[in-house]
A and B are shown apart, each in its own frame.
Chain A
Amino acid sequence: MKILVCITHVPDTTSKINFKDNNTKFDPTGVQFIIGPYDDYALARAIEIKESTPGTTVTVLNVGLAETEPTIRKALAIGADDAIRVNADPTDSFFVASQIAEQAKAGGYELILMGRESIDYNSGVVHSIVGEMLGIPSVSPVMKLELSGNTAKLAREIEGGKEYLEVSLPFVAGCQEPIAEWKIPNMRGIMSARTKPLKVVEPKSVNSGVATQKYELPKPKGSVKMISADNVKELVNLLKNEAKVL
């Protein structure tokens, strides 16, 4: 079986976010980049399937500029067989999904795993757009994925609970915990990742219909008002009459 795992290259979850050039560009100064945490779950599940199903290959795909290669190499070190980088700035979901769909078609993958959402744009839509473009189902957020032959049993998180699903290959899944345990690359993985194939392809041109004009940071919070533990009544009073939230 051929599995495609789509990964993002995103600021570490502890990063402070800043913009530059008059709030038109993300400022990467001092920011450490990682594989998107949800994408890491997708990758981990793909590697588990590969380990338990002989003849399975795992390809990782990123739409990004050259700076994302260390992140892609990390995914190779975790255990993916090869990688594709579509050489373009991932400007919006539709653009990214179009590139992924193009590569997915060319590669004939039976299972396409993604994260439930990227932690930069948080759109939670790329899997559904890719599914639509390929004319195959898409399911997200997936907490459990068990394959038997051509069909998969999935658990999907919904508001206040879970939904259990059955679907045949091929399909797209947006993953989240506890689908698998994150994998940490070992020394052998890191060594072999250096020589695994990483193919760079140019993007196809897409008219995506959206354009980001500028960014903004939230207004800084005012300072906290402390209330004595003996005066819980005062808190209730403030919530009612000052904050007006009760």
Chain B
Amino acid sequence: MAILVFVETAEGKVKKTSLEAVAYAKAMGDSVTAIALGDADKGDLGALGKIGAQKVLHADDKKLNEGNILAYAEVLIKALEDEKADILVLANSSLGTPVAARVAARIGASLASNVVEAPNTSSGFVVKKSIYTGKAFAYVELKNPKKVIALKKNAAEVKESGSDVTVTPYAVSVPDTAFKVKITSSEKATGEILLPEANIVVSGGRGMKGPEHWGMLEELAKTLHAATGCSKPVSDMGWRPHHEHVGQTGVKVAPQLYIAIGISGAIQHLAGVNSSKCIVVINKDAEAPFFKAADYGIVGDAFEIIPKLSEAIKAAK
């Protein structure tokens, strides 16, 4: 059973969630080929050998520098064929998920997205996926010989062993029809830790009172190498950009640590954070519902606690 892993990059660097995808494939045993499309750091790609890729392909074509979904699907369909791979593994993302779906539909594969742990193959091939926005799980059997698996963050642990592999150039010829959707421009935060990738998230709610107070929250995030998030009203009011809004209708995060400051903990917000390993809640109201979903809590004023917390973390380093 050969497995192909689609590896995504951000600013050329392999994304953390893609490292997890390689580790996930490696845990399934058989031969693992990773493939990256467009601009990518060669050193990063070679290092995929350390976490389980036996072979790394790089389709380094300018036309693939933008994440064009139809074109990416074409390349992956061809690569699955060339590598005689029956299974495609990738990370859920705004690029990975639609590509997974199009590939699966084309090659007649069983598809599962939001997969949270290694498959159970004791009888059939069963994956566990997150449903009802993190409020439940389903065990789904993938019955077709071909399978496409899209992973939620933290589905596998990345462990290094072995050594780098050489990166093999992978030549592609993508038909013009695959560029029917033209990407005319994009706006992307640069140099920031992306929210869906982050191991630690510092999130602020309406209790932060206004955008002018985000400086201290960003300072805390910086100390922790964390991404910043927010509640929905905060992005609705334009205090923070929409892509930072966490919850049922926003980004679903699954960090090691989620720190919620001045967020009441409405069920729609919790839906986006309930896969976090550890939750810290800071709120001036001891009755805030978020405390029920927290591992650690502090009742107090955000504006006093945030600077103290930044100091304490710096001191502990």
Selected from A38, A138, A236, the residue in CB contact (under 8 A) with B316 is: A236
Q: Choose, from B26-34, B47-55, B105-113, B210-218, the stretch at the interface.
A: B105-113
Does B172 make an interface contact (CB < 8 A)? no
Which residues on B sit within 8 Å (CB–CB) of A38? 249
Min CB gap A220→B, angstroms: 11
- From B110, B144, B257, B308, A232 is in contact (CB under 8 Å) with B308
**Contacting pair A222 B309 (CB below 8 A):** no
Selected contact of A239 from candidates B100, B194, B257, CB within 8 Å: B257
Across the interface, do B139 and A212 meet the contact criterion of CB distance under 8 Å? yes
With both chains docked as a complex, state the minimum distance between the C-beta of B138 and any C-beta of chain A, in angstroms: 5
A86 contacts partner chain B, Cβ-Cβ < 8 Å: no
A163 x B296 contact (CB < 8 A) = no
The contact of B105 among A94, A119, A156, A162, by CB within 8 Å, is A94
Given A233-B312, A245-B256, A246-B257, are A164 and B194 also a contact pair (CB < 8 Å)?
A: no
| A interface size (C-beta, 8 A) | 79
Q: Are A224 and B292 in contact (CB under 8 A)?
A: yes
Secondary structure class of chain B's binding surface, majority of residues: mixed
Complex: how many Å from CA A166 to CA B137? 37
A-side contacts of B92, CB under 8 Å: 124
Set of chain B residues within 8 Å of A37, measured between Cβ atoms = 248-249
Chain B contacts for A19, CB-based, 8 A: 136
B4 is an interface residue with CB less than 8 A from chain A: no
With A and B bound together, what is the CA distance between A160 and B242 in angstroms?
A: 9
Inter-chain contact A210/B102, CB cutoff 8 Å: no
* Residue of B69, B99, B141 touching A213 (CB-CB under 8 A): B141
Q: Which residue of A lies closest to B184 (CB)?
A: A164
- What is the size category of the interface that chain B forms with chain A? 35 or more
Q: How far is the CB of A176 from chain B (nearest CB, A)?
A: 7
* Chain B residues positioned under 8 Å from A141 (CB to CB): 94
Given contacts A213-B126, A216-B137, contact A159 B10 (CB under 8 A): yes
Given contacts A138-B98, A163-B183, A226-B298, 9 further A-B contacts (CB under 8 A): A124-B101, A125-B101, A128-B99, A128-B105, A160-B243, A232-B305, A235-B296, A239-B296, A245-B257
Interface residues of A (CB under 8 A from B): 11, 13-14, 16-17, 19, 37-38, 92-94, 97, 119-129, 131-133, 137-141, 143, 153, 156-168, 171, 176-178, 209-218, 221-222, 224-229, 232-233, 235-240, 243, 245-246
Binding site for A on B (CB under 8 A): 10, 67, 69-70, 73, 92-95, 97-102, 104-106, 108-114, 126, 128, 130-144, 180-189, 192, 194-197, 200, 224, 242-243, 248-249, 256-257, 267-268, 271, 274, 277-278, 280-281, 291-301, 304-305, 308-309, 312-313, 315-316
